[in-house]
Amino acid sequence: ALKITQEELSLQTGISRPTIRGIERGKETAQVGLVLQLCQDLGAAIELKFP
């Protein structure tokens, strides 16, 4: 865990706090581009596997 608040992440990424909250809660309408941006800003990697 990075121990960063939603507010700090919002300021760092430019993504609104309600959007970050929705992504954290698994909101089905979360935009893939925003999720990828958050991952990049946090230094996280995403791997997609297709059958």
| Global pTM exceeds 0.85 | no
pLDDT tens-digit readout, 10-43: 999 899 999 989 888 888 777 888 888 888 888 9
- State the DSSP string of 2-50: ----HHHHHHHH---HHHHHHHHTT-TT--HHHHHHHHHHHT-------
